[in-house]
Chain A
Amino acid sequence: MRFGVVVFPGSNCEHDCYYMLKYVVHQQVRFVWHKERDLAEFDAIILPGGFSYGDYLRTGAIARFSPVMEEVVKFAQRGSLVMGICNGFQILCEAGLLPGALVRNAGVRFVAKSIYLKVENTQTRFTQKCADRVLQMPLAHGDGNYYADAATLQQLHDQRRVLFRYCTVAGEVTPEANPNGALDNIAGIMNETGNVMGLMPHPERACESLLASADGLQIFQSLVV
């Protein structure tokens, strides 16, 4: 498959994504500058983590209006795969490709640590090869507290669009396992048509055993068909 990794001013996880897709998952991959407008060559687009446009105004708020995002919206509307990680998730929410918003962590502090994720639905383009129901990977953000109104939240659960929730090592979804105050411990969701997904933790930083966990690889392998 051909992957595009979008680079905004302030992105800082694009090289991790690039490395992992090219050298670990062995796919074609190219960086896409935020001013580019042609995505025709790609099968999937990754919006990486970072602090696009300095997180000014709101996280992802300015990136959403960059030229490439207009094309990413069309790309998604055609049914192609889009995955946003951390800041990428924030951008997808700002762009309206995913519902809800990511607000300041409940504890106000930036949280950077290793966490566990419960895979809630393995019948998706993003989780179909998740052999383990609990994945370990790092998380690093100041605004990862997922919020959506009650009706949206209900719809996400009913349609099984909550893909990942923060949990304990044993897979229990508890308040203690929630690092940022996210509603219902939500760490990752997908859109109604199942081709756009965003998550706050960093699977690209957990793809080789050298990095303490290779669990994130299961998500990227799910993408590849």
Chain B
Amino acid sequence: MKAKVYITLKNGILDPQGKTIQHGLEMLGFTGIREVRAGKFIELFFDGLSHEQARQAAENACQKLLANPVIENYEFIMVEEEKG
């Protein structure tokens, strides 16, 4: 099982990285893109935990380390790993 964690800057926090990406896209001729916000994507892979335990662990990880609540929001989804 794994958690796909998405971390984004809160509204109102300046995102110079997103602005730079947006500028790059405009240079390439993309139109109609109102705004670009850049964030982080983190995957947590779990072993030996129930779905609920893994969900709780992901929640704790986000609160304690993965996101800084002063400037960032987080959300995550739990997914079964694809069998290789």
- Specify the chain B residue showing the minimal Cβ separation from A109: B16
Cβ-defined contact, B14 with A103, below 8 A: yes
**B28 sits at the interface (CB 8 A):** no
- Closest B residue to A102 by beta carbon equals B71
CB nearest neighbor in A for B40: A57
**A185–B14 CA distance with the chains assembled, in angstroms:** 15
Judging by beta carbons under 8 Å apart, are B71 and A147 in contact?
yes
Is B63 located at the chain interface by the 8 A CB criterion? no
Q: Is the pair A57, B66 in contact by a Cβ cutoff of 8 Å? A: yes
Judging by beta carbons under 8 Å apart, are A107 and B16 in contact? Answer: yes
- CA of A147 to CA of B15, assembled, Å: 12
Is A181's CB under 8 angstroms from B68's CB?
no
Q: Given that A108-B20, A147-B70, A148-B70 are contacting pairs, would A103 and B13 also be in contact in the complex, using a CB cutoff of 8 Å?
A: yes
**Residue B65 at the A interface, CB < 8 A?**
yes
A108 touches which of B17, B66, B70 (Cβ 8 Å)? B17
What string of 1s and 0s marks CB contacts (under 8 Å) between B24-51 and chain A?
0000000000000000100000000000
Alpha-carbon distance between A62 and B14 when the two chains are bound, in angstroms: 23
Q: Which of A57, A62, A100 contacts B70 (CB 8 A)?
A: A100
User: Does A104 have its Cβ within 8 Å of any Cβ on chain B?
Assistant: yes
Q: Kindly list chain B residues whose C-beta atoms are within 8 Å of the C-beta of A57.
A: 40, 65-66
Chain B contacts with A in 1-28, Cβ cutoff 8 A:
9, 13-17, 19-20
Interface size class of A (residues with CB under 8 A): 20 to 34
A contact face: mostly helix, strand, loop, or mixed: loop
> Please, how many angstroms separate the alpha-carbon atoms of A108 and B23 in the complex?
13
0/1 interface trace, chain A 171-191, chain B, CB 8 Å (1 if under): 000000000010000000000
Q: Which residues of B contact A149 (CB under 8 A)?
A: 70
Q: Are A147 and B66 in contact (CB under 8 A)?
A: no
Residues of B with C-beta under 8 A to A65: 65
User: Which of B9, B66, B71 counts the most A-chain CB atoms under 10 A from its CB?
Assistant: B71
- A108 contacts B71, C-beta separation under 8 Å: no
The interface residues of chain A lying within 8 Å CB-to-CB of B68 are: 58, 61, 94, 101
- In the assembled complex, A105 has its CB within 8 A of some CB on chain B: yes
Q: Which residues of A contact B20 (CB under 8 A)?
A: 108
Known A-B contacts: A57-B40, A94-B68, A101-B71. Give 17 more (CB < 8 A).
A57-B65, A58-B68, A61-B65, A61-B68, A93-B70, A99-B70, A103-B13, A103-B14, A104-B16, A105-B16, A106-B14, A106-B16, A108-B17, A108-B19, A145-B14, A147-B13, A149-B70
Q: List 21 A-B contacts (CB under 8 A).
A: A57-B65, A57-B66, A58-B68, A61-B65, A65-B65, A93-B70, A94-B68, A99-B70, A100-B70, A101-B68, A101-B70, A103-B9, A103-B14, A103-B71, A104-B15, A104-B17, A106-B16, A107-B16, A149-B70, A181-B14, A181-B16
- What is the interface of chain A, defined by CB distance below 8 A to chain B? 57-58, 61-62, 65, 93-94, 99-101, 103-108, 145, 147-149, 181
